[in-house]
Structure 1
């Protein structure tokens, strides 16, 4: 359920300190953003854990998510990138500012996940992930975007929508005022359904934006989604 469009090889956009009344990510985490307990369509209990640093995420766990992103890139239908991303680049790209991972089962903190280390069976318990980061630099860095992944074992269990709900709750607590999803190909029907159902607005269309793997003989349009966080306040 991709929604992102930023260059994984570029340094992440960071919000400027000036004119910012925002708390640090750690302060926000302590005050407002805590692990979110959810229930999948099949009744499975799961937990969405927030992370504020790549160092909190075991490399073997990051490798599972990196492999899933690379499968999507290789398929060529959802993400715009052509070259796959090495783990050394994925780890800071996905978790450099703020990321979240959904796990099967009940957990209480990021520290608990960190302590499980590289010996945990992440393929069984890792269900999906998203990140939140600025979509634009400087004076527009209060507008965020997100990237989303759902693992194969979690498909058709409502994981994508639950991750989207957590994004809508946590992004404004991080101080963002608006969300833009730059690029969702119109052939990615499951993703479109999720964003439409969560109240995102279709604020634009890019004609012929995608030269996709499954559609070699035509260029596919992409939808730009927007969400105003103030409507939830």
Structure 2
């Protein structure tokens, strides 16, 4: 598997991964009814540096890297990751996270923070913890899950 910067030619494949995940509304605190343009504007926002995980020419996942905050908080990175449903459990998210940690270090970030990890996303929580992230805060009932109702979200952090 190769993780590389996204190219313009990758946009359709990336959106085919991102749009259904956002529409499901189970892991991202964003409107679920975004049209194609809004999904594109979100994932390829001006502060997002976008990457793809590729195997045998197929895009299996995508992530973005950005500063978590501006000004005095700009030394902390933030990322969002999405894996194709056909590639779940194949190490794609792990590969993307490891890549993002390396790229964040190369860009001079001193830490990485995930602001809103939904507690019911247990696979992600377990993966992030295995890669050195700690739950540094719990946001009680901060996410309205379409199946489970109001559930906690975590702030997760690790130094680089």
- Same fold at TM > 0.5: yes
Secondary structure at the aligned position of 1:81 is classed as coil
After the TM superposition, which residues 136-147 of structure 1 pair with which residues of structure 2 at under 5 Å, given as runs?
136-147=69-80
Q: Which runs of 5+ in 2 are unaligned?
A: none
Which fold has the larger relative contact order, with Cα–Cα distance below 8 Å and residues 6 or more apart in sequence?
1
Q: Is the 8 A contact 2:83 2:93 kept in 1?
A: yes
Q: 2:37, 2:65 → 1: CA distance?
A: 19
Q: 2:80, 2:19 → 1: CA distance?
A: 14
Map Cα deviations across residues 32-91 of structure 1 (whole Å, 9 max, x no partner): xxxxxxxxxxxxxx211135xxxx321xx2122223222122212111112325246626
Match of 2:22 in 1: 73
Give the structure with the higher percent strand: 2
Q: Does 1:50 align with 2:5?
A: yes
Report how far residue 139 of structure 1 moved: 2.2
After the TM superposition, which residues 1-233 of structure 1 pair with which residues of structure 2 at under 5 Å, given as runs?
46-51=1-6, 56-58=7-9, 61-82=10-31, 83-87=33-37, 90=40, 93-94=43-44, 96=46, 97-105=48-56, 125-216=58-149, 219-229=150-160
Q: Is the 8 A contact 2:113 2:155 kept in 1?
A: yes
Report how far residue 200 of structure 1 moved: 0.5
Q: 1:164, 1:155 → 2: CA distance?
A: 14
Q: 1:206, 1:48 → 2: CA distance?
A: 32
Give me the TM-score of the superposition, normalised by structure 2: 0.89
Q: 2:84, 2:38 → 1: CA distance?
A: 20
Q: 2:45, 2:59 → 1: CA distance?
A: 15
Q: Is the 8 A contact 2:17 2:61 kept in 1?
A: no
Q: After the TM superposition, which parts of structure 1 deviate over 4 Å for at least 4 consecutive aligned residues?
A: none
Q: Is the 8 A contact 1:204 1:224 kept in 2?
A: yes
Report how far residue 133 of structure 1 moved: 0.5
Distance 1:85 1:191, change over 3 A: farther
The count of residues paired between Structure 1 and Structure 2 equals 158
